[in-house]
Amino acid sequence: MAITKQKKAEITEKLSLGLSSAAGAAFVSARGITANEMNTLRRELREKGVKYAVAKKSLMKRAFAERGITGTLPELPGEVAIAWSADPIAASKGVYEFAKANKERMQLVGGIYEGAFMSKEEIMQLALVPSYKELQGKFAGVLSAVVTKFVRVVDAKAAKGE
């Protein structure tokens, strides 16, 4: 079924507006995903503040051109969707986590970070970056360990009478 010019313009505008407020985006290749799995993915992404849309590659390319995305667009095989969010890594991380359970049928194929296209490998590295809360927890743990060791040393010195 052909899409009217008006519908194409609406889709391009939706993508362009979404990308204007996005700090990061991920391109997703999903073949053989059931409707229930897709609904689960959309729900999980929505909870993380990530928007998800399926569109023709030609319409995506128009939206990318309107936004002035730089670099080389990665190869987008088959049917492709795009996930985007204001958090630079939320889209790639959300899709990556879902794709781990559906490796055969879903995978990251590229993305956008800070206004530039990223390859599959680069977006995968971005998806593996710990979240801000995880990094805060690790930092607090390191600080706590240092303070604990210092207290033990001082306590040991005091017990010896030094």
**pLDDT for the residue numbered 47:** 92
**pLDDT for the residue numbered 1:** 58
Question: Spelled out in words, what is the top-level CATH class assigned to the domain 5-129?
Answer: alpha beta
Q: What are the residues whose beta carbons fall under 8 Å from the beta carbon of 49, sequence distance 6 or more?
A: 85, 86, 87, 90
Q: Which helix (H) or strand (E) holds 15?
A: helix 5-20
Question: Does residue 85 contact residue 24 with C-beta atoms inside 8 Å?
Answer: yes
SS3 2: coil
**pLDDT for the residue numbered 33:** 84
**pLDDT for the residue numbered 43:** 92
pLDDT one digit per residue (tens) for the chain, 162 residues: 577 888 888 888 888 888 888 888 999 988 878 888 889 889 998 998 999 988 888 888 888 888 888 888 888 888 888 999 988 888 899 888 888 887 778 888 999 988 889 998 998 888 888 877 888 898 898 888 888 888 888 888 888 876
What the block records as the tokens of 112 is: 């956008």
Question: Does residue 98 contact residue 35 with C-beta atoms inside 8 Å?
Answer: no
